[in-house]
Structure 1
Amino acid sequence: MTTEHSKGKTKELIPSYRDIDNAIAALRGVAVETPLIEVPELANELKLNSLHFKLESMQRTGSFKFRGAYWRCMQLRPDEKNNGVVAFSSGNFAQALPVAASLVGTSTKIVMPIDAPLLKKKRAEKFGAEIILTDHGNEGREVVAEKKAKQISEQENRPLLHPFDDSHMIAGNSTAAVEIVETLKMRNYPLPDHVYCCSGGGGLISGIAIAFARYSSKTRVIPVEPEGFDSTGQSLNTGKATTLQITKNSICDALQALKPGKVPFACLSSLNMGRPIVVLDNQVREAMSLAYELRRIILEPAGAAPLAALINNANLVRNKDIVVIASGANIQPQDFVSHIR
């Protein structure tokens, strides 16, 4: 499972182009080929050559997570399907996995932080998952949830499917970038100079970056993280995976990993990435409001973070072709209204 862009000890960790091609074939007709919309009025305002939004917010279960979840579930052996799977998630993977698992004929247990958004907990149950809640206190919410998921995996002999630290998850997520490339080529648009993408544990951005390294060597993928949770940016800057301490909260509940996954970081550190950007909560709220104002697009905070990064740093990319990944839309209506007021 290696490919041309891998180096040294990271070789065995990085999804191969063949793995990505297989994921593309498997997801055709199963995942939504989400819209890639042009936003010329904002491009003009920001002095860009072109601007497109990739609306993964319109993917099955409301986020990009379905892509990786389905491709990972396709790898399960018959005996693993019989036992069912277990995972941990702050919300979006918790919704995507039970849907993906049901399509391959298996069941799901999900460990979620007790303070995960109510909508995400309810929807995960609606989609068929059995939910176990964990109280993380002052510890990292995903750290505690992962410990519990590992315990269940060992006790019940269920495969533990990691939401981002998994090469198959990354390969599945990369298909969003392949769609961007295909659509832009079909429309005779230039491929992007920069792609703005959020990063939590790194499962989405590593897939996006691998795909663009394959199809568009000029493209730089820019990691976007909330203030206080910029583990990917700090890790790329220092050259080694960095674990953060919890110092503050963020409205971006889906982007609160304190350390990038081993596999995503191996991918990202092997590629030429754009300069990481940290966004503030108020900037994210403004981006949520702007997306709604421009196209009536509803985004959760994590889904709006890349747009926030662009509009607050547009002077760095003047006259460039830009794509913004809008990764998810799982937010309660009253919370959305509260954020955009």
Structure 2
Amino acid sequence: MTLAISYEDIVAAAGRIKGIAVRTPLIENLALNERLGGRVFIKPECLQHAGAFKFRGAYNRISQLTDEEKKRGVVAFSSGNHAQGVALAARMLGVKATIVMPKDAPEIKVRNTKGYGAIVRLFDRYSESREAIAAEISEKEGAIVVPSFNDPYIMAGQGTIGLEIAEDLKAIGVTPDQILTGCGGGGLASGLYTVLGREFPGAARYVVEPATYDDTKRSLESGTRQQADITVKSICDALLSDSPGPLTFAVLQAFGVKGLTVSDREAADAVAYASEILKLTTEPGGVVSLAALLEGRVEAKGQTSVIVLSGGNIDPKLLAACLAGTAV
């Protein structure tokens, strides 16, 4: 089976975003290492433009549009991080952007998306189809749909995170035992493991999801794509995809990825830990990989782990609740 992206596609994407996207550091924290009894390398994509890794894929995708397509504009659907990434990338490339966002998306994400110059179309995620709305806008205005994960350019753009991780680990002579990243539709994970599955074939590879949105975990266990119940609510709004994409799922299968889950309370506790100990502002959906380590979903003692903190766009009220232990 031919996969949607290759290592070479990700190298090409890295060339396109070089000097544009932030090359986020790979950091360690002594307190975290001591708590877990191992080494943990943290990739803080909460420090990326627009506060999440999504900017990488969005810029890579929109930059590849023809001049004629750029004139028609783009449309995307997202609860917030992809929305902001597309809005910012489109503004940088001089492209009109319309973003379909749920009415219950975090206020900060809606505000920032508008701030980057995009037109926001709100919808009810429990009674309306965001895909149908985006398709209608695309048909009416001729706008190019920029998917949030199931697209080769998006996947390759997110995979540039893996190139940076591999380069930094090799520079200090470290080989990881396990790698964990959050997962919604699988765009980040598929790109990440296309690189790290090749660079560190002996490392265990995991995706982490909210317990109520474990569709990727169940898909990997069953061998067929499973659905999540989208009527269920979770504070991990960045990860509420109803199913892994066919393109992303094939990659995750090919690299032997396994699924883990954490509860909303565990994600909220990890937000507090990241703020108080790591001095990083994260959002619940962006910190599930850390939560999985803190909660012992995999053994970290005596291991070298790599985690991606994928986003930090959290409403101040929710951050305060996480710090107070009252978020859930």
> What is the TM-score normalised by the length of structure 1?
0.92
Equivalent residues in 2 for 1:35-46 (5 A)?
35-46=25-36
What is the aligned partner in structure 2 of residue 163 from structure 1? 148
Aligned with residue 289 of structure 2, among 302, 306, 316: 306
Instruction: Report which stretch shifted further, 290-299 or 160-169.
Output: 290-299
In the TM superposition, residue 17 of structure 1 has moved relative to its aligned partner by 1.9
What is the aligned partner in structure 2 of residue 269 from structure 1? 253
Equivalent residues in 2 for 1:1-341 (5 A)?
8=1, 11=2, 13-48=3-38, 50-138=39-127, 144-188=129-173, 190-246=174-230, 248-273=232-257, 275-313=258-296, 316-341=299-324
Aligned sequence identity (%):
38
Task: Describe the SS at the equivalent of 1:168.
Answer: helix
> What is the TM-score normalised by the length of structure 2?
0.95
In the TM superposition, residue 40 of structure 1 has moved relative to its aligned partner by 2.6
Task: Describe the SS at the equivalent of 1:87.
Answer: strand
Change (3 A) 1:156 1:295: same
Q: Aligned equivalents of 1:46 and 1:163: distance in 2?
A: 33
| Equivalent residues of 1:85, 1:108 under 8 A apart | yes
Task: Describe the SS at the equivalent of 1:172.
Answer: helix
Unaligned runs of 5+ in 1: 1-7
In the TM superposition, residue 244 of structure 1 has moved relative to its aligned partner by 2.1
| Equivalent residues of 2:28, 2:42 under 8 A apart | yes
Q: Deviations over 1:270-316 (max 9, x none)?
A: 1121x311101111111111111212211100111111111112662
Q: Aligned equivalents of 1:20 and 1:162: distance in 2?
A: 17
In the TM superposition, residue 98 of structure 1 has moved relative to its aligned partner by 1.6
| Equivalent residues of 1:227, 1:250 under 8 A apart | no
Q: Aligned equivalents of 2:310 and 2:85: distance in 1?
A: 13
In the TM superposition, residue 138 of structure 1 has moved relative to its aligned partner by 5.0
What is the aligned partner in structure 2 of residue 5 from structure 1? none
Amino acid paired to 1:69: A
Task: Describe the SS at the equivalent of 1:328.
Answer: coil
In the TM superposition, residue 247 of structure 1 has moved relative to its aligned partner by 5.8
Q: Aligned equivalents of 2:244 and 2:25: distance in 1?
A: 28
Aligned length: 324
* Stretches of 4+ aligned residues off by more than 6 angstroms: none
Task: Describe the SS at the equivalent of 2:250.
Answer: helix
Q: Aligned equivalents of 1:315 and 1:232: distance in 2?
A: 17
Change (3 A) 1:261 1:314: closer
Instruction: Report which stretch shifted further, 257-266 or 238-247.
Output: 238-247
Q: Deviations over 1:312-334 (max 9, x none)?
A: 12662331110111000001222
Q: Aligned equivalents of 1:247 and 1:72: distance in 2?
A: 30
Root-mean-square deviation (CA, aligned residues, Å) is: 1.4
| Equivalent residues of 1:23, 1:71 under 8 A apart | yes
Unaligned runs of 5+ in 2: none
What is the aligned partner in structure 2 of residue 4 from structure 1? none
